[in-house]
Amino acid sequence: MRGKVILSLFAPVAQMCQAADVVLDWNIGYISYNFGRLFDRKAIGINGKWPIPSVEVTLGDMLVINAHNLLDEPTSLHSHGLFQNGTNYYDGAAMVTECAIPPNGSFTYRIPMVQPGTYWIHSHYKAQTSDGLRTALVVRDPNDHYKYDEDIVLPMSDWFREPAATIIKQFSSPEPNVRYKPMIPYGIIGGECLNAKVIKFEKNKTYRLRLLNIGASFEFHFSIDDHELRIIEVDGVPVKEKPTKGVMLAAGQRVSVLVRSKETTSNNYLFHADMITDLFTMP
């Protein structure tokens, strides 16, 4: 899977806000999603939309999610990577830290944002994550040690023609010819499929790219042609800056990198989000 980095003249300016309650009203329900005009299939969206927009808050905020379950089965929401010290009853691990939200039921999550960094929110019931109930969670720090001109969130994920229930049934089959039946994974980055995603850079600026693998199964390898990546955060933890040509992300992992744009807008560059599909290699 590839995309383009385009050197452009304009880019949005990041806005900082004071600590506050960030209240989200989420109706969790089924929608029909068309994947790159290749096929339609049922997905789990929020308020009738998919992909689900990223959740972006500031360190010190209180994240409040009023979740209403419109599915025909239970669901839950897990904020992946947050410690939940003192709030484990909002961790979303169904039937472990709390009951799942029943069909037509509601539950309110109130989670203090005490960890800056890059995380994600996903269902923790059955395999609803692979049906689309997942999105990025970014906790920005106004006193970030690293300086950059723009903050860009790039979630990567796998996508299947088959719904989660079909995949679970196949993988659980005692028959090898059923269990290892070929299944084609597709890739999505930044909410867009295949080669559709474009990142716009201005010349001579530094960008923070928050890379997330919010997929169900597969690893991704990310790189940008003729650009160095400088790793500054891994799974929500700041790290000593390290230069690299590419970053590997397993399912659930997050890495922030700094990228310096070129001194001219005379050329555009491909970025690569290569999905590693060895998991489906026949035994």
pLDDT digits (tens, 9 = 90+) for 82-91: 999 999 999 9
What is the pLDDT at residue 185? 80
Nearest residue to 121 (alpha-carbon basis) of 69, 78, 59? 78
Local structure of 135: helix, strand or coil: strand
Residue 176 has φ and ψ, to the nearest 5°, of: -55, -35
Beta bridge partner(s), residue 65 = 24, 109
Q: Taking the model in full, what pTM does it have?
A: 0.88
> H-type helices in 172-241, by residue range?
176-179
Local structure of 243: helix, strand or coil: strand
Quick: pLDDT tens for 126-140.
Answer: 999 999 999 999 999
Quick: pLDDT tens for 195-230.
Answer: 567 889 999 999 999 999 999 888 999 999 999 999
Inter-residue contact 151 to 205 (CB < 8 Å)? no
Residue 22 burial (C-beta neighbours within 10 Å; 0-12, 13-18, 19+): middle
**Distance (Å, rounded) from C-alpha 209 to C-alpha 211?**
6
Report the DSSP pairing between strands 21-35 and 2-7: unpaired
Q: Whose structure tokens read 């295949």? A: 194
Inter-residue contact 213 to 245 (CB < 8 Å)? no
Nearest residue to 117 (alpha-carbon basis) of 158, 151, 85? 151
Poorest-pLDDT segment among 66-80, 112-126, 264-278: 264-278
